[in-house]
A = this chain, B = another copy of it.
Amino acid sequence: MTVQQLLGTHPRPVGDLEPAARCIEACAECATACTICADADIAEPDVAQMLRCSRLCLDCADVCTATGRVVGRQTQRDVAVLRAMLEACKTACRVCAEECERHASHHEHCGICAASCRRCEEACDALLAVVA
């Protein structure tokens, strides 16, 4: 399946299926990457330097999970709630990406996670641009 196809089977689909589907997929991928990175961070020998990264990854996973769910619901959606969560998700992804990027050269999971956060930040931004 693709998420966009699935969204299209709703009896009254919202108009912005393509950016909505991209956002849902990016949130799911980012939540997974952040959960795995938060866990790998605390297993590293330099754990004391990785605490901020682990913590921000936990936050980002929680925010992305909630955002993907809010975006996925098309029945009677409220634009104010949707936009507020997309803004929060953009912020969580950006801050987490910035921290992960600092560790990308010595921890591969941080580099992979940072890229995932940046994709999610962009997907939230793209959906914000069309939701009004």
Contact = CB atoms under 8 A, between A and B. Distances in A.
Contact of A40 (B5, B11, B33): B11
Interface string A50-71: 0110111011111101101110
Interface string A27-62: 011011101110110111101100110111011111
The quantity of this chain's copies bound in the complex is 4
A85 to B, nearest CB: 5
A102 interface: no
Given A72-B32, A78-B95, A84-B88, A9 B39 contact: no
In the complex, the 9 A-B pairs of residues with the closest C-beta atoms, listed nearest first? A52-B76, A66-B66, A84-B88, A84-B91, A88-B88, A9-B109, A9-B108, A62-B66, A39-B73
